[in-house]
Structure 1
Amino acid sequence: SQRAVVSMSEFILVGFSTFPPHLLPIFFLLFLLMYLFTLLGNLLIMATVWSERGLHTPMYLFLCALSISEILYTLAIIPRLLADLLSTLHTIPFAACASQMFFTFMFGFTHSFLLTVMGYDRYVAICHPLRYNVLMSPCGCTCLVAWSWVGGLVMGLVVTMAVFHLTFCGPNEVHHFFCHVPPLVKLACGTDIPLVALGVGLVCITSLLGCFLLIFLSYAFIMATILKIPSAEGRHKAFSTCASHLTVVVMHYGFASVVYLKPKAPQSLEGDTLMGITYTILTPFLSPIIFSLRNKELKTAMKKTFVSKLYPQSP
């Protein structure tokens, strides 16, 4: 019984255990560079928006909030992942596992809610430009950001409390590289496991599909309005303000749908691990690149703010 108590005081993350050992240092270096680039990219976006008064608009306020949620989301997963890649002990205490699940769901859903708010912002800007300053007032924008964070907090609490309310009897090996719901539920015992698994799945899928539907409706109205613009230049200019957001939305919900809507067929540990990498490391890595490269206004401001300071032109 003593052994059972000890084993359930911690979990073992075995996500990379089936990969050849000589690949782990390569993974470590690759993921470390991607993580540092993710941090740098998001910090650059936030610093640029902060320093350029011309970017003090609702769209860039939402982008800053998105960068913060992305930094915190990756902070909840990647540092521990990097440590595990170089360690022989992959244990995580029970409380730390619960905390990691809470923060990943909180910041992950905050991210989804902020993307939805950004879609609404683009809808108002293009479909109701004369009412934009009224509908997207500073107070209104602050409330939208605040409610996005509150929504993420509630989702994190609901999912984490539902999962860690279960009894874990052993074994304690989590078939993933972080504390994710499906592999943890498989370790639980009791009669209410199917109900909890179904409830958590429905909450996550409903929230994600709800956000996606709202974004889809926003862009349906946006496209209808853009197509009515007589000049090709005007249509291109209107759509260019949405391009970076739309690209990130497709990427974010594309990977999320693969995770939450995939068939329940048996899958290898390597497959689950590689799939997990796409939405925990790859998506946050690509997001600041897309916003920086596809947003002309932000790209120009970055050059003005940083490149000119690093390489001042001689008089």
Structure 2
Amino acid sequence: MKMVVIFNANMTRVRSFIILGFPGLPPQYYGHVSAILFLVYLTIVVGNISILSTVFSEKSLQKPMYLVFCHLALNDLTFGTITLPKIISKYWFGDSIISFFGCFTQMFFVHYLGAVTSFILLVMALDRFVAICLPLRYPVLITNNIISALCGVAWLIPLPLMLTIILQALDLLYCNSNVIAQCYCDHFSITSQACGNDVKIVQVTTFGMAMFCLLLPLAFIIFSYASIIVVILKISTSAGRRKTLSTCTPQIFITCLFYLPRCFVYVANTVGFSFSLDTRIVLILLYSLLPAAVNPTIYCFKTLEIKQTLVRKFKTSKFGLQVKNWTLHVNVQKITSI
């Protein structure tokens, strides 16, 4: 535990933090956990890079809806890269120490990317709202340029809020412990190690900003999908209802995957239902990383155009490999006959 004394002998400031991970995990399972986390990270990287490369390489997929998927995939990829390597190295190599400013940098990106996801889901809901509720105006209101601008705003809005949160937390004096009871640095885990009268004020202010970033988009998302459901129910034929619903099924799955686990944890805490420390860490890790790992699968299997493009690419590459092997076989036969 590295500390340096400031002000007087009774006041110390933390110079580094220790990532605790799962406190109740026996050492004999460290290798298994690190392997699972590595596979999760590999899934996040391969899945989201595949989505990004597929959309950008196919002009037919460069549409507003798929551009939103790309922004979400980039966000998920960045989140996994920010959080997982450190906890993997803890269980794989025993490296659990993170520098003071390194921990604050990780905390910034954890909360910033979470807030960006919330606003990108709002843009996604807006796209489907206009497509289904105002179909005749969709080509005018929703274009690639407009969607790119809206996604840019989604990346921009949380930035000053998260910088404010970081600066407030940096002003606190950290003199309790330097152990982070979590798999990565987050605001609550860090500020819990602070001392002084300002800690509660900072935590309440941060909670208010977090609720703004979470609930404001959620309110519009609920309104959008409720309006979409009303429009779908008014369609006379069952085939028409199914076809219309299928155009927004991926978005609904992705939105539920992001919001429902968070709402469950918040409601459980509000009504006084407490979790053990290990359970709380597992729940937070699940609702943080599961969407990033599962979203690419939802894009592929619930979005017809992406699925068809991937199948076509797979068949083309397989056919190309067969042709190459056949050509090589013919050339070998010619050489041996000579």
- Tell me the TM-score normalised to structure 2 length: 0.87
Secondary structure class of the residue paired with 1:92: strand
Residues of 1 paired with 2:95 and 2:13: CA distance?
Answer: 14
Q: 1:295 aligns with which of 279, 299, 303?
A: 303
| Residue of structure 1 in register with 2:198 after alignment | 192
Contact 2:15 2:100 (8 Å CA) reproduced: yes
The equivalences for 1:167-186 within 5 A come to 167-186=173-192
Q: Give the residue type in structure 1 aligned to 2:183.
A: F
1:16, distance to aligned residue in structure 2 (A): 2.4
User: Relative to structure 1, is the Cα distance of residues 225 and 3 closer, same or farther in structure 2, using a 3 angstrom cutoff?
Assistant: closer
Residues of 2 paired with 1:124 and 1:308: CA distance?
Answer: 36
The equivalences for 1:107-146 within 5 A come to 107-146=113-152
- Tell me the TM-score normalised to structure 1 length: 0.93
Count of aligned pairs between the two proteins: 314
| Residue of structure 2 in register with 1:26 after alignment | 32
1:309 counterpart = 2:317: yes
Contact 2:19 2:180 (8 Å CA) reproduced: yes
The equivalences for 1:56-95 within 5 A come to 56-95=62-101
1:171, distance to aligned residue in structure 2 (A): 1.4
Deviation string, structure 1 residues 227-253 (Cα, Å, up to 9, x no partner): 122221111111101111101111100
1:44 counterpart = 2:50: yes
Residues of 1 paired with 2:313 and 2:306: CA distance?
Answer: 10
Contact 1:176 1:272 (8 Å CA) reproduced: no
Deviates more, 1:58-67 or 1:136-145: 136-145
Q: Which runs of 5+ in 1 are unaligned?
A: none
Q: 2:248 aligns with which of 242, 251, 268?
A: 242
Q: 1:148 aligns with which of 144, 154, 164?
A: 154
Secondary structure class of the residue paired with 2:244: helix
Residues of 1 paired with 2:163 and 2:315: CA distance?
Answer: 43
Deviates more, 1:236-245 or 1:133-142: 133-142
| Residue of structure 2 in register with 1:278 after alignment | 286
Structure 1 residue ranges (4+ consecutive) displaced by more than 3 angstroms after TM superposition: 2-7, 258-262, 264-267, 310-315
Name the % identity: 29
User: Relative to structure 1, is the Cα distance of residues 312 and 229 closer, same or farther in structure 2, using a 3 angstrom cutoff?
Assistant: farther
Residues of 2 paired with 1:55 and 1:154: CA distance?
Answer: 33
| Residue of structure 2 in register with 1:252 after alignment | 258
1:265, distance to aligned residue in structure 2 (A): 5.7
Deviation string, structure 1 residues 60-104 (Cα, Å, up to 9, x no partner): 011111100110111110111111112334111011001001111
Q: Which runs of 5+ in 2 are unaligned?
A: 6-11, 324-338
Residues of 2 paired with 1:35 and 1:222: CA distance?
Answer: 35
Cα RMSD for the two superposed structures: 2.0
User: Relative to structure 1, is the Cα distance of residues 157 and 114 closer, same or farther in structure 2, using a 3 angstrom cutoff?
Assistant: same
Deviation string, structure 1 residues 4-25 (Cα, Å, up to 9, x no partner): 4486000111122430111111
Residues of 2 paired with 1:26 and 1:63: CA distance?
Answer: 32
Deviates more, 1:262-271 or 1:111-120: 262-271
User: Relative to structure 1, is the Cα distance of residues 201 and 106 closer, same or farther in structure 2, using a 3 angstrom cutoff?
Assistant: same
